[in-house]
């Protein structure tokens, strides 16, 4: 396990952590949260330093960090250099052990015969023959198609390089995985795949993410950094919010009580300090005041509080696509698109990676002309368009107030500064050139400039990519109060669910209204993937049969083939290399019986494992209810809390073990069934 004992860290003269103490165990999935600048990345850097990794060294100011010497760490870096290495080779290099052995086996010029045998044994022990398949599955889950596997890394855009970096990290055989904003450059289907991957990963995962739905689906603990303290909460993000609010309310009550006590003591001291008869009591009150621990008042959580102005003019429809074919170089990507944007439109666009969501967005805003059909906009249209490109074309040398003044004309500086303050541009940041801003600050500034212009249609293409949780909450509230139309593409499920009234699905070159909510889309996506996998297997089987020149029956449970079927098949094969014989009803019955006999114990094992999982999940749910009791975190109940936490850790490990067993059993069943 990882243990922090009274850890203190300072960077650039500023204290980030003071007295941090917590434990993280193997199998834990932990969300690392906190406002920007509180030290989340520093905590990652500290862990990497302690494990002899990383580019930035962070030393302890005090305290102790304990990590098992045998542990390996994988860290998702935020930059990927341009390299001519192929994408699949770059991903495979994440499995360092496999990569080294494979390189040695492919260059045997300096390897002895004895060493070759050892290398093959090691390769077999790490299941090296299946590693390329694992890499391909990870790349597919993150949106790469097979034609991209051999392309050089330098040929991908920045966002796709980040996906490659994530894929490389997931390939690692690490005991500890550090993921910093892994969903930033993913679309929704890739995020849903990543959630499944993390939930089945056996090691300890610590993830920094501003995607609430992603955290709720993946983590069982929250490590929260606030006011130089690091607090470990049990439960997902929603449970953390509830528990933290309860603690903050208790803290506020304690603060108010303490302030009342202080006022009473101050009043006594002021009135009686000079009187000889009361001097002793006054001195006692002074010492009492000095002994009182300082409590902080409950701080306002969110520094963002903006709203969209009401549009000045609107008519209906504002934008209209009718029977439109949309694409590039006269090749339609989307056919017969019919989309109407009216003042009360609130559309969320869904679809797999590459389905054409961004293409549709470009057509709606007029960046991409239609190939056929019609595109019309109202004379009253005032468009607010947000995408990555808009962020990238900000004037790098200009400050926020300079850019806003270009739009605002003679508006007073006081009003402009107040407006920018609602987007948390305050003090020196208002007068700082945008080239020095982080991605999150550039995104906030782009939104601020859009808001100021009073649009009546907002077209937002992944607006939350660089925004933290607080800014996402503020954006959600602002969009809920917006009086105009909204067209939204986002991987943030909370934003879509809270803002959009209707969902449109872009799939197979069509745009259709989606009958369901955002959770139903996840189910639809899972079903589509299942169908695609079945189709791939079917194609593979047909190809295998086509290439095979004779029919060879599979072995029965006792390892002996049916001679009758085998001989008949061989005779038919000698007569014709194209056709294969049909099995008789008796032969089909025997094969079916053999299949049932072979798969029966596997099915029983799956059923028993599923029952065990359900039981453990019930026990975990009961434990989570107990751990939600705020009284449990009082000092007097520390021993009770430790007992429950240890019990939870044991159950979570059992749950992980059972899940792995279930996955292996289901894979075995699928392989056995494929043999018949």
pLDDT digits (tens, 9 = 90+) for 259-317: 776 776 677 667 666 655 556 556 666 665 665 555 545 444 556 677 888 888 888 89
Per-residue tokens: 667? 């894979």
Cα–Cα distances (Å) from 9 to 12, 34, 61, 177, 544, in that order, read 10, 16, 5, 22, 61
Q: Which backbone phi and psi does 281 adopt, to 5 degrees?
A: -65, -35
261 SS3 class: helix
* Mean pLDDT to the nearest integer, 631-644: 70
User: Taking the domain 319-515, which CATH number applies?
Assistant: 3.40.50.300
Task: List the structure tokens of 491.
Answer: 């991987």
DSSP 606-664: HHHHHHHHHHHHHHHHHHHHHHT-GGGGSGGGHHHHHHHHHHHHHHHHHHHHHHHHHHH
Q: With a cut of 90, say whether residue 378 has pLDDT above it.
A: yes
Same fold, 1-72+174-235 and 319-515: yes
Q: pLDDT class for 245, splitting at 50, 70, 90? A: confident
Between the ranges 75-89, 124-138, 356-370, 576-590, where is the mean pLDDT highest? 356-370
pLDDT for residue 107 is more than 90: no
Exposed / middle / buried, residue 60 (Cβ in 10 Å: 0-12, 13-18, 19+): middle
pLDDT confidence tier of residue 543, bands split at 50, 70 and 90:
very low
**Rounded CA separation 9/524 (Å):** 47
Separation of alpha carbons 9 and 39, rounded Å: 9
pLDDT of residue 561: 38
Contacts 24+ apart (CB under 8 A), 313-316: 313/380, 313/382, 313/456, 314/343, 314/380, 314/456, 314/484, 315/343, 315/378, 315/379, 315/380, 316/342, 316/343, 316/378
Q: What is the mean pLDDT of residues 421-428?
A: 87
Q: CB-hemisphere CA count at 13 Å for 439?
A: 14
| Domain positions in the chain | 1-72+174-235, 82-170, 242-291, 319-515, 520-547, 549-582, 588-676
Which structure tokens are listed for 437? 């801003």
Q: What radius of gyration, in Å, describes the C-alpha atoms of the chain? A: 31
The percentage of the chain sitting over the pLDDT mark of 90, rounded to a whole number, equals: 30
Tell me how far apart the alpha carbons of residues 86 and 88 are, in angstroms, rounded to a whole number.
Answer: 6
pLDDT at 544 over 70: no
CA distance 44 to 40: 7
- Residue 154: per-residue pLDDT: 87
DSSP 563-595: HHHHHHHHHHHHH-SS--PPPPHHHHHHHHHHH
Residue 584's pLDDT band, with cuts at 50, 70 and 90, is low
648: its two tokens: 């939870």
Sheet hosting strand 73-75, strand order edge to edge: 73-75, 176-180, 204-208, 29-33, 221-226, 229-234
pLDDT at residue 218 above 90? yes
Which residue from 177, 172, 142, 147 is spatially nearest to 160, judged by alpha carbons? 142
Q: Which of 82-86, 324-328, 533-537 has the highest mean pLDDT?
A: 324-328
Chain CA centroid to CA 258, Å:
42
Which H or E element spans position 303? none
pLDDT of residue 556: 33
Predicted local confidence at residue 88, as pLDDT: 92
Distances (CA, A) of 355 to 55, 335, 441, 509: 38, 12, 30, 7
Beta 502-507 vs 510-513: how paired, if at all? antiparallel
Reported as a pLDDT band with limits 50, 70 and 90, residue 365 is very high
pLDDT at 507: 92
Closest C-alpha to 152, from 94, 90, 96: 90
CB under 8 Å to 597, separation ≥6 — which residues? 557
* Domain covering 1-72+174-235, topology: Rossmann fold (3.40.50)
Confidence class for position 560, pLDDT limits 50, 70, 90: very low
Q: Does position 666 have pLDDT exceeding 80, yes or no? A: no
CA distance 540 to 593: 25
> Which has the closest alpha carbon to 594: 559, 557, 543?
557
Is the peptide bond prior to 429 cis by the omega test (within 30 degrees of 0)? no
Average pLDDT over residues 602-621: 83
Q: What residues contact residue 631 under an 8 Å CB cut-off, 6+ apart?
A: 637
Per the prediction, the chain carries an average pLDDT of 80
* Distance (Å, whole) CA 204 – CA 266: 51
pLDDT at 538: 55
pLDDT for 263 = 75
pLDDT exceeds cutoff 80 at 407: yes
Tokens 């193997």 -> residue: 26
Q: Which residue has the higher pLDDT, 192 or 55?
A: 192
- Strand 319-328 relative to strand 331-341, pairing: antiparallel
The predicted-structure confidence for 436-493, as pLDDT tens digits, reads as follows 887 788 888 999 999 999 999 999 998 888 787 778 888 888 888 888 999 999 988 8
Asked if pLDDT for residue 104 goes beyond 80, the answer is: yes
Mean pLDDT value of segment 507-535? 82
> Which of the pair, 36 or 482, is modelled with greater confidence?
482
Higher pLDDT, 134 or 620: 134
Check pLDDT > 50 for residue 500.
yes
Q: Mean pLDDT throughout 381-387?
A: 92
pLDDT class of 169 with cuts at 50, 70, 90:
very high
């Amino acid at each position: 396990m990882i243990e922090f004992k009274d850890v203190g860290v300072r960077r650039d003269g500023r204290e980030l952590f003071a007295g941090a103490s917590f434990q993280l165990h193997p199998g834990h999935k932990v969300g690392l949260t906190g406002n920007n600048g509180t030290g989340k990345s520093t905590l990652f850097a500290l862990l990497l330093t302690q494990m002899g990794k990383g580019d930035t060294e962070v030393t302890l100011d005090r305290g102790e960090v304990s990590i098992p010497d045998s542990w390996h760490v994988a860290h998702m870096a935020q930059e990927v250099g341009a390299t001519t290495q192929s994408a699949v080779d770059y991903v495979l290099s994440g499995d360092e052990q496999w990569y080294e052995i494979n390189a040695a086996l492919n260059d045997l010029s300096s390897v002895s015969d004895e060493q070759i045998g050892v290398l093959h044994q090691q390769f077999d022990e790490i299941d090296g023959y299946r590693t390329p398949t694992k890499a391909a599955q990870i790349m597919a889950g993150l949106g790469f198609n097979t034609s991209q596997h051999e392309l050089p890394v330098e040929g991908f855009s920045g966002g796709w390089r980040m996906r490659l970096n994530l894929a490389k990290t997931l390939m690692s055989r690490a005991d500890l995985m550090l993921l910093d904003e892994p969903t930033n450059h993913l679309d929704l289907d890739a995020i849903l795949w990543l959630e499944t991957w993390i939930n089945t990963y056996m090691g300890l995962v610590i993830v920094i993410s501003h995607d609430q739905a992603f955290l709720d689906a993946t983590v069982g603990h929250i490590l929260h950094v606030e006011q130089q303290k690091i607090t470990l909460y049990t439960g997902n993000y929603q449970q953390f919010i509830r528990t933290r609010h309860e603690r903050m309310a208790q803290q506020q009550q304690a603060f108010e009580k303490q302030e009342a006590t202080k006022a009473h003591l101050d009043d006594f001291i002021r009135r009686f300090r000079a009187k000889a008869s009361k001097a002793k009591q006054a001195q006692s009150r002074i010492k009492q005041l000095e002994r009182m621990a300082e409590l902080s008042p409950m701080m306002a959580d969110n520094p963002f509080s903006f709203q969209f102005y009401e549009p000045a003019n609107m008519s209906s429809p504002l934008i209209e696509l009718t029977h439109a074919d949309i694409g590039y170089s006269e090749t339609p990507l989307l056919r017969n698109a019919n989309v109407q944007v009216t003042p009360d439109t609130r559309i969320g666009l869904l679809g797999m990676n590459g389905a054409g969501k961004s293409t549709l967005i470009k057509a709606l805003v007029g960046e991409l002309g239609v190939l056929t059909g019609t595109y019309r906009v109202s004379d009253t249209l005032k468009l607010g368009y947000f995408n990555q490109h808009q962020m990238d074309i900000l004037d790098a040398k200009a400050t926020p107030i300079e850019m806003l003044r270009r739009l605002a004309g003679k508006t007073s500086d006081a009003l402009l500064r107040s407006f920018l303050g609602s987007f948390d541009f305050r003090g020196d940041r208002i007068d700082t050139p945008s080239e020095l801003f982080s991605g999150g600050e550039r995104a906030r500034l782009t939104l601020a400039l859009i808001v100021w212009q009073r649009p009546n249609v907002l077209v937002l293409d992944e607006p939350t990519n660089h925004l933290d949780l607080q800014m996402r909450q503020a954006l959600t509230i602002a969009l809920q109060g917006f009086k105009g139309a909204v067209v939204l593409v986002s991987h943030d499920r909370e934003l879509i669910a809270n803002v959009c009234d209707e969902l449109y699905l872009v799939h197979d070159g069509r745009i259709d209204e989606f009958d369901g909510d955002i959770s139903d889309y996840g189910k639809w996506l899972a079903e589509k993937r299942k169908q695609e996998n079945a189709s791939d297997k079917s194609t593979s089987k047909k190809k295998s049969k086509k290439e095979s020149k004779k029919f060879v029956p599979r072995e029965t449970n006792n390892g002996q083939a049916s001679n009758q079927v085998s001989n008949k098949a061989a005779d038919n094969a000698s007569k014709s290399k194209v056709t294969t014989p049909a099995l008789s009803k008796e032969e089909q019955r025997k094969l079916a019986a053999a299949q049932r006999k072979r798969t029966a114990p596997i099915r029983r094992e799956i059923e028993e494992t599923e029952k065990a999982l359900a039981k453990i999940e019930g026990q975990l749910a009961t434990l989570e209810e107990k751990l939600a009791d705020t009284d449990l975190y009082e000092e007097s109940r520390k021993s009770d809390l430790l007992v429950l936490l240890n019990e939870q850790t044991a159950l979570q490990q059992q749950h992980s073990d059972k899940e792995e067993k279930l996955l292996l059993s289901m894979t075995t069943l699928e392989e056995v069934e494929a043999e018949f």
